Amino acid sequence: MMQEQSVETGPSLERSIGLGRVVFQSVTTMAPGASVVFGLGLIMVYTGIAAPFAMLIGAIGAVIVAFCIGQLATRIPSAGGFYSYAAITFGNSFGFIVGWLYSALYVILVCVSGINFALVTQDFLSYYFHFAPPYWLLVAIIVLVLLGVTYIGVRVSTGLTAILGIIEVGIILLLTIFLIAKAGGDNSFALFNPAHAAQPGSSTLRSVFLGIVFAFAATAGFEACLPLAEEAKNPKRTVPLALMLSAGLIGAFYVLATYAAIVGWGPAHLSGYIDSSNAWRVMGGKISAVLAVLVSLAIINSTIGGEQSGYNAVSRLLYAMGRAATLPKALARIHAQRRTPYVAAVASGLLALALMYIGMALFSPFGAFVFFLTLGSFIFLILYTVIVIASVVYTYSRHRSEFKVGANIIAPILALCVLLPTLYYSLKGLTYPANRALPVLGVLILLGIGVLLLLRARGADISSERQHWLREDTLDQGLSTETAGTAAANPTSESA
């Protein structure tokens, strides 16, 4: 019989993972291999040879947003992440809606990575082995295998994401170095000049902003480390640092890769890059057939890593909401031996599999991928905006003595200057099936409000998550005050 414990009597999550595993939880969610191969062309469409500049601004924006989120992660090391932050800052009802969207986001990201795995794996097998297994089978394989890995334990699942992340970044970085070296005298800092961004029928400023939209979108996912806060060692330091490292390092990697793509393909021939189904495989093949194969494997690897990190995150989010009784309490059950939220993991896997099949039936495999990616992008931008504002409100209301102009006014304003235009331009000019994402988002929000009203009507207490972390925060404030008082009373203790 499976050994399990309920949330009331069972063990807690296992606090056993260090900084490296937490960082790669975010890195693999960002899917750098797939983002480089399939996402850079969208930036080039709007900014041309100035794409590296747009990517640089997008990466800086991601670091600023990560910094703002990190201010909350430093104080609230909760597996609920955005859900817990919003509940503490804005109240239980608003926190529930944020948690509802946050959990939905990671189910959607599991769908995105699962369908992308099916698309790129079938393409790889067809291209090299003339064998094309059905999409439904490939989706089922990736879901069930990684569901098993998630069940085994957090050290195994985060260890897998770390290995996969290192492999995909390593392969693309290797090709990037080859491309830059091969370009020789064609290397130029002119590619970082925004004046080169103007496209026919568009001003320079508009072209740059549209490029930044897709550049920032490529960095989304750096916050995926938050749900591992209750399993990370020294989470108040580890998680904020992981946020900054993942956003900063992968952002820098994207800038380098964007530059390499342009000098490697040829600045005068970017239309060919944009139209290519896999420009990096083509560029790798011109250097070595082995590199072309490695690039293809890196893309597959990237989708597997994204799927695993999505499972890691959504299972912890559902666990946190089950623990707070805002979703069924069964989701908070932890396996006695594995120390994993196995019910939440199974529920998220089965839900994601069902949604993938529905999406592929309604659209097509690629259409479902575009739909889920667009829907996830909307939710990302909305939640980032909410949490950046929450970082200001929380610090001012709970830790006013630590409120600083740079960290709590200037940084959030800069973050919103990236987020709000990105959200605005993301809503414009959508075509089928991406244009179906907005009404579905509306329905998703209405469903969340309906569930909240039902909980209220039943008299359910949904305040436990907020109350727990408010108590923890108050205790921390007391300890900080006591420590400061002791230091002031014994000024020579440190020098001694």
From residue 4, how far is each of 290, 333, 340, 341 by CA, in Å? 47, 7, 10, 10
Q: Do 83 and 465 contact (CB within 8 A), yes or no?
A: yes
What mean pLDDT comes out for the span 262-289?
A: 87
Percent of the chain whose predicted confidence (pLDDT) is above 90: 51
The least confident of 377-381, 428-432, 443-447, 477-481 is 477-481
Max mean pLDDT range (5-9, 268-272, 410-414)? 410-414
- The pLDDT value recorded for residue 8 is 46
Which tens digits make up the pLDDT trace of 69-96?
999 999 999 989 999 999 999 999 999 9
**Residue ranges of the domains in the chain?**
4-475
The confidence band for 493, taking pLDDT boundaries of 50, 70 and 90, is very low
- The pLDDT value recorded for residue 11 is 61
Q: Which position has the higher pLDDT, 213 or 62?
A: 62
Which tens digits make up the pLDDT trace of 148-161?
888 887 788 888 88
CA distance 195 to 197: 5
The confidence band for 34, taking pLDDT boundaries of 50, 70 and 90, is confident
- The pLDDT value recorded for residue 111 is 94
Helices of type H across 266-331: 270-275, 279-287, 289-323
What mean pLDDT comes out for the span 271-300?
A: 88
The least confident of 45-59, 187-201, 269-283 is 187-201
What mean pLDDT comes out for the span 115-121?
A: 93
Helices of type H across 324-410: 342-362, 365-398, 405
Tell whether the model's pLDDT for residue 260 goes beyond 90.
Answer: yes
Q: In 3D, which of 409, 319, 296 has the Cα closest to residue 6? A: 319
Q: What is the mean pLDDT of the chain?
A: 87
Q: Which position has the higher pLDDT, 177 or 185?
A: 177
* DSSP conformation class of 496: -
Q: Do 159 and 150 contact (CB within 8 A), yes or no?
A: no
460 conformational bin, left if phi > 0, alpha if psi -120 to 50, beta if neither = beta
CATH code for 4-475? 1.20.1740.10
The confidence band for 5, taking pLDDT boundaries of 50, 70 and 90, is very low
- The pLDDT value recorded for residue 15 is 80
Max mean pLDDT range (160-169, 207-216, 468-477)? 160-169
CA distance 94 to 98: 6
- The pLDDT value recorded for residue 137 is 97
Q: Do 22 and 233 contact (CB within 8 A), yes or no?
A: no
pTM for the predicted model, two decimal places: 0.88
- The pLDDT value recorded for residue 64 is 96
Tell whether the model's pLDDT for residue 4 goes beyond 50.
Answer: no
The least confident of 266-280, 311-325, 434-448 is 266-280
What mean pLDDT comes out for the span 301-322?
A: 90
From residue 380, how far is each of 159, 218, 259, 385, 433 by CA, in Å? 25, 11, 26, 9, 19
Tell whether the model's pLDDT for residue 324 goes beyond 60.
Answer: yes
Q: Burial letters for 282-298: b for 16+ Cβ neighbours within 10 Å, e otherwise?
A: bbbeebeeebbbbbbbb
Tell whether the model's pLDDT for residue 481 goes beyond 70.
Answer: no
- The pLDDT value recorded for residue 357 is 97
What mean pLDDT comes out for the span 288-304?
A: 90
CA distance 110 to 28: 12
Task: Tell me the two tokens of residue 207.
Answer: 């072209």
- The pLDDT value recorded for residue 483 is 54
- The pLDDT value recorded for residue 495 is 40
- The pLDDT value recorded for residue 202 is 65
Which tens digits make up the pLDDT trace of 226-243?
999 999 999 999 999 999
Which tens digits make up the pLDDT trace of 340-372?
888 999 999 999 999 999 999 999 998 999 899
CA distance 369 to 361: 12
What mean pLDDT comes out for the span 193-201?
A: 74
